């Protein structure tokens, strides 16, 4: 087993290194040192999936600085009914979806600034199911969505809320909870017994909503940065 390396790429990090969740036989220190030695200089991002104290200590000792925690939350299914009338995604919805997504995630390092090409590339992946991409409209305008994903390579299969957002113009109207439940509702209808999502650790409004629904933290993925002149 080796680390996943991406780069060189434009943006804040020239290189990205990922330490996988399953690493019981991996010498993390040796692998990171070896990986860095094979790269040219530039800012490096290091992700440690399912971080623990040992892995965190290795990253810190090598000069990496923690800057982001991403929590994976899970909940049992079925959950509560959503009460929202949602519809499945169609290709005609692409423009409206991009507008809502990019307004809602203008601050987000990965989800913000999506392009039609990026979305269509994701939708070309084998797991994509337009029925699992639930849209909510207030009249004719799209105001929220819950895009789900089923992980069929995991036993038992796991349902993920892949991306969820409410248009900022409708924030404060209590739509986050039922929009989340609409996605979980669809996943439960596929026979799944557990739902999952990722959320920024410091996104307090979202975490409060998810806790009220019944999500709890399963593990933490941690990102580090290294200024490597």
> Hey, what's the torsion of the CAs at 33, 15, 104, 157, to 10 degrees?
-60
Tell me the C-alpha distance between 161 and 194, whole Å: 11
pLDDT at 1: 59
Residues in the chain predicted with pLDDT less than 70, given as ranges, are 1, 229
pLDDT at 26: 82
Q: Looking at the DSSP assignment, which residues form a beta bridge with residue 150?
A: 159
pLDDT in tens, 24-54: 878 999 999 999 999 988 999 999 999 999 9
pLDDT at 110: 79
Q: What is the pTM of this model?
A: 0.90
The DSSP output letter for 199 is E
Structural domains for the chain: 4-70+221-226 (no CATH), 78-192 (3.40.630.30)
The DSSP output letter for 123 is H
pLDDT at 228: 74
């Amino acid at each position: 087993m080796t680390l996943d390396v991406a780069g060189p790429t434009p943006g804040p990090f020239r290189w990205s290194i990922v330490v996988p969740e399953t690493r019981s036989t991996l010498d993390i220190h040796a692998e990171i040192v070896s990986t860095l030695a094979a790269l040219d200089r530039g800012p490096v991002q290091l992700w440690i999936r399912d971080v623990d104290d040992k892995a965190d200590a290795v990253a810190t000792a090598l000069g990496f600085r923690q800057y982001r925690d991403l929590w994976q939350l899970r909940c049992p299914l079925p959950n509560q009914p959503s009460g929202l009338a949602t519809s499945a995604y169609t290709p005609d919805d692409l423009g409206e979806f991009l507008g809502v997504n990019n307004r809602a995630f203008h601050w987000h390092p990965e989800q913000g600034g999506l392009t039609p090409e990026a979305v269509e590339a994701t939708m070309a992946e084998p797991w994509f199911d337009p029925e699992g991409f639930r849209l909510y409209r207030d009249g004719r305008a799209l105001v929220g969505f819950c895009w789900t994903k089923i992980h069929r390579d995991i036993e038992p299969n796991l349902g993920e809320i892949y991306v969820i957002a409410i248009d900022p113009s409708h924030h404060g109207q209590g739509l986050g909870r039922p929009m989340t439940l609409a996605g979980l509702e669809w996943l439960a209808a596929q026979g799944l017994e557990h739902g999952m999502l990722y959320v920024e650790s410091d996104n307090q409004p979202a975490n409060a909503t998810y806790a009220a629904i019944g999500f709890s933290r399963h593990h933490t993925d941690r990102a580090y940065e290294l200024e490597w002149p």
